[in-house]
Structure 1
Amino acid sequence: MTKKLHVICFDVPFPADYGGVMDVFCKIKELAKSRTEIYLHVFQYGRNEQSILNQYCSEVHYYKRHTSVFRAMGYLPYIVQSRSSHQLIKNLKRIDAPILFEGLHTTLILRTKLFKDRKLLVRTHNIEHQYYKQLAANESNLLKKSYYWIEALRLRYYEKVLKHCDHILPLSIVEAAYFQKKYGGKVTYLATFHPNKNVHELSKKGYFALFHGNLTVTDNMKSAHLLIDVFKSIHYPLVIAGQSTDKKLLSRIKQYKNISFISIQDDDQLLELFHRAQVNVLFSFNNSGVKLKLINALFQSRYVIANSKVTEGSGLEPLCITANNKKEITNELLKIMDKDFSEKQITLRKEILRAYNNESNVKTLLDLL
């Protein structure tokens, strides 16, 4: 029997070029394969309408996100208040189907109790108030820091809206434990969806260390500078890949012959880097959600060195080499620069990464509808 589902997304989920939208887009594709009729509702700001979404959804509706500074006033979080739409309510009423809210961002309707007769599911992409506290702690701009702190306080209070939904679907084991403590049996851990099908089997050795990410994000920028500090003192090549026009970062990279920058233009280019890398060095100052870059590296590349804030809540710690500071990263790099990546390690990856099987995870989701 064909199931119907409304999906409300915080952003246009294509191109799937950052973690949150990648989870949504890959989930939509998997739902479509299971013959689910998807009615997609998208809040739009800065990203264009995407015809590819029509291949997987019965209907796609776009709503303007209200980014006026006035939406940041009052007691509601800005990320929620800026995503309000009367037309969305009309469209939801027109078709009687369960509603999946992608992110706390999209849950303003839960406060109205207009759809209390529907099955209501919330996919939590973070513990949002904790995420914004970390953003504030790592931000040097005083205006932005103040905004992040205020938003964290609002989100902590607003999170109680989850009492009005039937199911909460965290994508991290640690976050699932947090929500279970507060909301009990309505919480179901649902691993993040991703574009990988199988663990890629590669030759035993690669050629360089790889760090990749969106370098317009403060956390990734700080991590890139930290890794430059590591690699400037060792004679091993580091490739920093992503999108950046930051003059300070690019200037630092040019100072060292063993460090290079590659501007990523498409997925195929990134895949080639994964397949040629000996080790992926992943570092983060924020322990929020599950890092898609970690999952992609484990499916597509060889060794992974990561700090605890990258791996926490993923269940993937046994597949990674943990290093939490510059000295530890250096020591672990020296051990594996010329070390073969073995069949035993590939077998272990296949076993543990079963938890990240899109087909079984979409079945878990459908069973809740």
Structure 2
Amino acid sequence: MKELHIISFNYPYPPSYGGIIDVYYKIKALSDLGIKIHLHCFIDQIPDKIDPEVKEITENIFFYKKKKNPLVYFSGTPFAAAIRGSEDLIKNIEKIKAPLLFEGLQTTYIIQFLKDKEHPLYLRHHNNETEYYKGLSLSEKNLFKKLIYRIESLKYAGYQKKMLKKFEAVFCLSEKEYKEVENYSGNAQLIHLFHGNQSVKQLDKKGNYFLFHGDLTTADNKRALNETIDLFKTLPQYKLVVASDRAGEGIKRKISAIQNISLTSIQTTEKLHSLLENAHGNILISYQNSGTKVKLFNTLYNSRFVIINGNITDDPVLTNLCLYGTDMTEIRQHIITSAEKEYHDAENRRNILENTHSDKGKAEEMISTIFKN
């Protein structure tokens, strides 16, 4: 029986946002192929129970509380990594001799304390963290948060260089990060995002509205939504539905004042899929160049037209399945054009996505690398 330790930055259920979606569906795909998973999770509060969806795809699950000491801010190690150190994690790893897969650089703090080389080390590289925090700093309006993100970005610049060469392989999400890691440490492997979708939906030719969905507590999503709202103010003939469970009062007030824009909660995966299935077009905009966003897979598998800007994906296969705009003027024109069109692309998407982006295929690639001996 092949066994694998996975060290996750959070508890991977429910799979409701980008990074944790990749973690959960990766575990599921690996488990479905017979890999025995020992899952280690850093969390704020230890849960009262383990969800059956996680229990049935793991052999063991361990929890470790993130550190709360504010002095960690003054460490030379990135804050997100420094708060995820644990002696108990090291002890639990030493009990089971198996490869280690770290989910993001923020989980790698313990590597310096491992006593032996009996655990081959692998990294799931979720982001170029230096660029990610730099992007957050640029999008953030709060001056204190802007400074914190900038400091974190600078810390990660050195930390990434120190850590990336320690791994047998670094599994990258995007073409850009694959090239960066391969040029630096020569151990990169491109494994696109695990997303949990099985088949492309066959839908009617027309939907009822345009959809924007996402976590509206992040600076990037808030900026993207404000741009989208301003766009739809100039297109009163088209309805925009904004879907989020985390919208602030300012956003709620702004939306309520515009007749053709409405706000709804998501709450469940079933509700999200219903929103996607009834949408005629989807607006996906980002100002952070950090690889393919997981919401792109959800829209391509479960909805009709998908309108994107350049930061949603750097995968040309996926870009070709979308309506691409270099700026908001082009995005606006795609909205107008697609509103009058019927959707007929399901078969083409099915042929492409199920051949090139299936979770099973990605899991098989990872297994062949991790267990090559």
Give the TM-score range, shorter chain. Answer: over 0.9
CA spacing shift, 1:36–1:219, aligned 2, 3 Å: same
Q: How does 1:311-350 map to 2 (within 5 A)?
A: 311-313=313-315, 315-342=317-344, 345-350=345-350
Question: What CA deviation, in whole Å up to 9, does each residue of 1:157-184 have, x standing for no partner?
Answer: 0112121111100111221111111111
Residue of structure 2 equivalent to 1:178 = 180
SS where residue 310 of structure 1 aligns?
Answer: coil
SS where residue 15 of structure 1 aligns?
Answer: coil
Q: Is the 8 A contact 2:309 2:325 kept in 1?
A: yes
Q: Is the 8 A contact 1:12 1:47 kept in 2?
A: no
C-alpha displacement of 1:310: 0.9
C-alpha displacement of 1:330: 1.4
Cα distance in structure 2, aligned partners of 1:281 and 1:22: 20
Q: Is the 8 A contact 1:101 1:121 kept in 2?
A: yes
Cα distance in structure 2, aligned partners of 1:241 and 1:7: 32
C-alpha displacement of 1:222: 1.4
Cα distance in structure 1, aligned partners of 2:298 and 2:175: 18
Cα distance in structure 1, aligned partners of 2:326 and 2:249: 27
SS where residue 312 of structure 2 aligns?
Answer: helix
SS where residue 361 of structure 2 aligns?
Answer: helix
C-alpha displacement of 1:140: 1.4
Comparing 280-289 with 76-85, which one deviates more in the overlay? 280-289
C-alpha displacement of 1:290: 1.8
TM-score by length of 2: 0.95
CA spacing shift, 1:215–1:47, aligned 2, 3 Å: farther
Question: What CA deviation, in whole Å up to 9, does each residue of 1:220-249 have, x standing for no partner?
Answer: 111111111011111100000011341221
Q: How does 1:10-89 map to 2 (within 5 A)?
A: 10-45=9-44, 48=47, 50-52=50-52, 53-89=54-90
Q: Is the 8 A contact 1:133 1:149 kept in 2?
A: yes
The one-letter code matched in structure 1 to 2:24 is: F
Cα distance in structure 2, aligned partners of 1:326 and 1:222: 13
Cα distance in structure 2, aligned partners of 1:33 and 1:9: 19
Question: What CA deviation, in whole Å up to 9, does each residue of 1:20-51 have, x standing for no partner?
Answer: 00000001111111121110000012573533
Residue of structure 2 equivalent to 1:214 = 215
Cα distance in structure 2, aligned partners of 1:245 and 1:19: 17
C-alpha displacement of 1:338: 2.0
Comparing 50-59 with 133-142, which one deviates more in the overlay? 50-59
Cα distance in structure 2, aligned partners of 1:314 and 1:197: 21
Equivalent position to 1:164, from 160, 163, 166: 166
The one-letter code matched in structure 2 to 1:8 is: I
Cα distance in structure 1, aligned partners of 2:116 and 2:322: 44
The one-letter code matched in structure 1 to 2:167 is: C
Equivalent position to 2:267, from 262, 265, 268: 265
SS where residue 326 of structure 2 aligns?
Answer: coil
SS where residue 244 of structure 2 aligns?
Answer: strand
Q: Is the 8 A contact 1:175 1:313 kept in 2?
A: no
Residue of structure 2 equivalent to 1:351 = 351
Equivalent position to 1:255, from 246, 257, 264: 257
Query: How many residues get paired?
Result: 365
Question: What CA deviation, in whole Å up to 9, does each residue of 1:250-277 have, x standing for no partner?
Answer: 1111112211100111111110111111
Q: Is the 8 A contact 1:77 1:151 kept in 2?
A: yes
Cα distance in structure 2, aligned partners of 1:272 and 1:168: 36
CA spacing shift, 1:104–1:137, aligned 2, 3 Å: same
Gaps of 5+ in 2: none
The one-letter code matched in structure 2 to 1:124 is: H
Cα distance in structure 2, aligned partners of 1:68 and 1:218: 26
Question: What CA deviation, in whole Å up to 9, does each residue of 1:96-145 have, x standing for no partner?
Answer: 00110010011112233534232211000001111111111111111111
Question: What CA deviation, in whole Å up to 9, does each residue of 1:332-366 have, x standing for no partner?
Answer: 11111020111xx2233123323211111111111
TM-score by length of 1: 0.96
Q: Is the 8 A contact 1:173 1:314 kept in 2?
A: no
| C-alpha RMSD of matched pairs (Å) | 1.4
Cα distance in structure 1, aligned partners of 2:220 and 2:274: 24
Q: Is the 8 A contact 1:99 1:120 kept in 2?
A: yes
Q: Is the 8 A contact 2:138 2:146 kept in 1?
A: yes
Q: How does 1:139-150 map to 2 (within 5 A)?
A: 139-150=140-151
CA spacing shift, 1:132–1:47, aligned 2, 3 Å: farther
Cα distance in structure 2, aligned partners of 1:47 and 1:283: 35
Residue of structure 2 equivalent to 1:119 = 120
CA spacing shift, 1:324–1:22, aligned 2, 3 Å: same
Residue of structure 2 equivalent to 1:97 = 98
C-alpha displacement of 1:307: 0.5
Q: Is the 8 A contact 2:86 2:110 kept in 1?
A: no
Residue of structure 1 equivalent to 2:192 = 191
Q: Is the 8 A contact 1:209 1:279 kept in 2?
A: yes
The one-letter code matched in structure 1 to 2:347 is: T
SS where residue 5 of structure 1 aligns?
Answer: strand
Gaps of 5+ in 1: none
